[in-house]
Structure 1
Amino acid sequence: MSRTAGETNRKKMHSYYDYSLLFLTLFLVCFGLVMIYSTSSYNAQRVYGNATHYLERQALFGGAGILIMLLVSKIDYRLMITKLAVIKIKPVTLLYFLCIILQIYVLIFGDVINGAKRWINMGALGRFQPSELTKIAVIVFTAYIVNLAPRKLDRFRGFLRVVLFIAPLLGLIVIENFSTALVVGVIMVAICFVASKKKFYFIISGLLMAGIGSMLIFFVSYRSTRIDVWLNVETHEKGYQILQGLYAIASGGIFGKGLGESMQKLGFIPESHNDMIFSVICEELGLFGAVALILLFILLIWRIFIIAINAPDLFGGLIATGVLAHIATQVLINIAVVTNSIPSTGIPLPFISYGGSSVMVLLFEMGIVLSVSNQIKAER
């Protein structure tokens, strides 16, 4: 009798798939395409003679990213820590070393844009930013290392062990891209913090990292200049972009000027479809649109959080935690920069800002999170 009851209970269980997270992701990607067209059409027509130039490119990468997301979501995420039959190496290790090679390559042979080497020229496909792929590597590899011996994180030595593994990736990024290194560092610390039962040593670690970060800012001239710009945005010669963004936010009012009616995007905000896109959203859709977008991000983060705490194993929960930290950190930093709450730094708004590498990596990450959700067993 008990056996029959057990079989009945097993039949009532089924794989859970978070369609709420899927629809939120798709909506944000589509909203991003609308805003990219709205913010870039004028400059695209002026420079390329095609108002939809940026929209077409972003739609191509977004569409490819969505297909990758759906494919990855149906593959068991635990295969990343299973040895491949042919080469006897785990995909997570392969990805780790691939990112190290790409980061070294970009420092030597990368394209210099605005004084920084961050991109690899892919010809007709455009430019690829290896640091974006490194975010996936850090999420997955940190989760893997922690999952091997989670109890070691109860001591500071265990945390240092994780730091030593991630340090090569972090160090190669920080040479040319401090802001992305900051995001990567937050991802690593967030995963370790969640897995550790002891939290006190994170305070000491945070102070040490803040000290190192301060040196990397104040002893590098162009980074310290950004502090001066932040403190004197109205008078500093390099405060033009942030000031124009603040004008856009202020002129939007409660309900905005209307979609496509922004004035600041007409050359006043340079490349408004990139990191400063939130200011144009505020101008065209007003405070109402900005708050609605922030609420959508909060809902997205909440769904990832639910998946993290219900994941079938520690590895899956830590991956979801890493993705959550990645998206939350970029949203906070981007909006803080646009509103001049912190010094300027180049962090895109997830799913919204223009950038093929960024949107494809984010969609790949969402595919992994959906894969974790697909392994959760729930009652029918």
Structure 2
Amino acid sequence: MIKKILKSYDYSLILAIFLLCGFGLVMVYSSSSVTAVSRYGQDPSFFFQRQLQWFLIGSAAFLFVMVIPYRAYINNKFLKLAVLGSFCLLVSLFVFGHMAGGANSWLKLFGASMQPGEYVKLSVILYLAAVYEKKQSYINKLGVGLLPPLVFTFLICLLVAVQPDFGTAAIIGMISLAVAACSGMNGKSLMKLILLVIIGFVIISPLLFIFSDSIFSPYRMSRLTGFTDPFETEGSSGYQLVNSYYAIGSGGLTGVGLGESVQKAGYLPESHTDFIMAIISEELGIFGVVFTLSLLGFIIFKGFYISRKCEDVFGSLLAVGISSMIAIQAGINLGGLTGLIPITGVTLPFISYGGSSLSLLLISMGVLVNISMFVNYRETYNKEMNEEHIPVKAIKQKPVSY
């Protein structure tokens, strides 16, 4: 049976994940070496070494999670712990939070910094997938089916937004809507849900002014307005975006060469985080961009494909949530550095510097790989599986449609 399980793992997905992470490590070193020396007085490999440590931690977590049957996460005690832990972590930021990048969204533990909002993303996905599976018989009843879990999500988003971290709050909100939309509701219920979300946003918007000193500071408002005409404000709010354009435009087809970027030498402030794709474009050209987007697209496509093939609602919605998280985060990052949307500080999945983000993504990928393994096993060894009684509660339900 162990051999059959090992054969059922999707090694193409695993390879894509680690190829992207390995490429990300190379680009973190290339894009951060100058910053490490000039701004922080550190060794050129300072950020690379820290990212490598988080990669090794995340890889160990990935290997551990990928062998745990995903149905284990639907346990009520585990879900309560995940929900309570998410609230406690976010509330603790108001007391023990560390300010960085204009947001009070970091905790310092044992000399290392972590961003609780990153790990909350997966908690929200697990919670919503479990709750919506249990509510399948009345999923189209908004009052008792769809809305109660979204109230929990709203509170989470509010706690993140007032840090203030609009980027993470937006990602969590959009992931939640994606999971809800794929939960099996009909078109009429979906339209009602969208209308209620719009009304709710209009109603609660005035509450944000309570925190106007931090949320609507000149610095944050310049981020929201600077993308409309960055060259007009090149010396202030449009500075980052203009230099991102210079980096992207100078790369051409093959780039100026790995490690040869000019913009990372003090011109593009967040070259190893928010704007790492601009450095990829400059150093490796269109080929580097296509390579990165192809691997990201493959992982996202695989996730939605696994969702379609999964036979139980919980696993299907987990795959939807994880895939949506990567797609939404990548979309927001790429939209910001190209000027399509305001700059939010959201990093590029698997590539940008950030230990909390990388470790969370690898843990999430471990869950997705495990779902994929069970899907492949059921398809290939369905008869043997029934005879051998694999320890997983495979609920025979219609695959989630979306």
Q: Shared fold (TM-score greater than 0.5)?
A: yes
Query: Which residue identity does 2:25 align to in structure 1?
Result: L
Q: Distance in 2 between matches of 1:214 and 1:171?
A: 11
Q: Is the Cα–Cα contact under 8 Å of residues 228 and 339 in structure 2 kept in the other structure?
A: no
Match of 1:99 in 2: 86
Query: Which residue identity does 2:19 align to in structure 1?
Result: F
- How has the CA–CA distance of structure 1 residues 212 and 179 changed in structure 2, closer, same or farther, with 3 Å as cutoff? farther
Kindly, what percent of the aligned residue pairs are identical? Answer: 34
Query: Which residue identity does 2:216 align to in structure 1?
Result: S
1:183 corresponds, among 144, 147, 171, to 171
Q: Distance in 1 between matches of 2:283 and 2:203?
A: 40
Match of 1:232 in 2: 229
1:80 aligns with 2:73: yes
Q: Is the Cα–Cα contact under 8 Å of residues 154 and 173 in structure 2 kept in the other structure?
A: no
Match of 1:5 in 2: none
Q: Distance in 1 between matches of 2:174 and 2:115?
A: 19
3-state DSSP class of the match of 2:227?
helix
Q: Distance in 2 between matches of 1:216 and 1:301?
A: 35
1:221 aligns with 2:222: no
Match of 1:6 in 2: none
1:143 aligns with 2:135: no
Query: Which residue identity does 1:307 align to in structure 2?
Result: I
Give deviations 1:94-146, integer Å, cap 9, x for gaps. Answer: 0110110010001222011233210001243x211110110011010011111
3-state DSSP class of the match of 1:270?
coil
Query: Which residue identity does 1:145 align to in structure 2?
Result: V
Match of 1:87 in 2: none
Q: Which runs of 5+ in 1 are unaligned?
A: 1-9, 84-89
1:108 aligns with 2:95: yes
Q: Distance in 1 between matches of 2:125 and 2:31?
A: 32
1:204 aligns with 2:195: yes
3-state DSSP class of the match of 1:258?
coil
The within-5 A match list for 1:256-335 is 256-335=255-334
| 1:378 CA displacement | 2.6
Q: Which runs of 5+ in 2 are unaligned?
A: 382-402
- How has the CA–CA distance of structure 1 residues 100 and 217 changed in structure 2, closer, same or farther, with 3 Å as cutoff? closer
| 1:209 CA displacement | 5.8
Range that drifts further, 73-82 or 129-138:
73-82
Match of 1:156 in 2: 142
Q: Distance in 1 between matches of 2:206 and 2:268?
A: 30
1:57 corresponds, among 33, 36, 50, to 50
| 1:308 CA displacement | 1.0
| 1:374 CA displacement | 2.1
1:17 corresponds, among 1, 9, 29, to 9
Match of 2:379 in 1: 378
Q: Distance in 2 between matches of 1:72 and 1:259?
A: 34
Q: Distance in 1 between matches of 2:205 and 2:221?
A: 9
Q: Distance in 1 between matches of 2:139 and 2:200?
A: 18
Query: Which residue identity does 1:229 align to in structure 2?
Result: G
Q: Distance in 2 between matches of 1:202 and 1:265?
A: 44
Match of 1:172 in 2: 159
- How has the CA–CA distance of structure 1 residues 252 and 210 changed in structure 2, closer, same or farther, with 3 Å as cutoff? farther
- How has the CA–CA distance of structure 1 residues 289 and 217 changed in structure 2, closer, same or farther, with 3 Å as cutoff? farther
Q: Is the Cα–Cα contact under 8 Å of residues 33 and 58 in structure 1 kept in the other structure?
A: yes
- How has the CA–CA distance of structure 1 residues 265 and 326 changed in structure 2, closer, same or farther, with 3 Å as cutoff? same
Query: Which residue identity does 2:224 align to in structure 1?
Result: I
Range that drifts further, 222-231 or 57-66:
222-231
Give deviations 1:23-46, integer Å, cap 9, x for gaps. Answer: 110011000000000001122233
3-state DSSP class of the match of 1:171?
helix
Q: Is the Cα–Cα contact under 8 Å of residues 153 and 192 in structure 1 kept in the other structure?
A: no
1:354 aligns with 2:342: no
Q: Distance in 2 between matches of 1:216 and 1:344?
A: 23
Q: Is the Cα–Cα contact under 8 Å of residues 74 and 371 in structure 1 kept in the other structure?
A: yes
| 1:22 CA displacement | 0.7
Question: What RMSD in Å do the two structures reach over aligned CA positions?
Answer: 2.3
3-state DSSP class of the match of 1:119?
strand
Q: Distance in 1 between matches of 2:284 and 2:200?
A: 38
Q: Distance in 2 between matches of 1:344 and 1:217?
A: 19
| 1:287 CA displacement | 1.8
| 1:362 CA displacement | 0.5
Q: Distance in 2 between matches of 1:249 and 1:213?
A: 38
Q: Distance in 2 between matches of 1:287 and 1:148?
A: 46
Match of 2:106 in 1: 119
Query: Which residue identity does 1:154 align to in structure 2?
Result: N
| 1:206 CA displacement | 4.9
| 1:216 CA displacement | 7.8
Q: Distance in 2 between matches of 1:306 and 1:72?
A: 20
Q: Distance in 1 between matches of 2:207 and 2:232?
A: 25
Q: Is the Cα–Cα contact under 8 Å of residues 16 and 374 in structure 1 kept in the other structure?
A: yes
3-state DSSP class of the match of 2:379?
strand
- How has the CA–CA distance of structure 1 residues 244 and 210 changed in structure 2, closer, same or farther, with 3 Å as cutoff? farther
2:182 corresponds, among 189, 194, 212, to 194
- How has the CA–CA distance of structure 1 residues 318 and 184 changed in structure 2, closer, same or farther, with 3 Å as cutoff? same
Q: Distance in 2 between matches of 1:322 and 1:213?
A: 25
Q: Is the Cα–Cα contact under 8 Å of residues 151 and 196 in structure 1 kept in the other structure?
A: no
Q: Distance in 2 between matches of 1:338 and 1:194?
A: 30
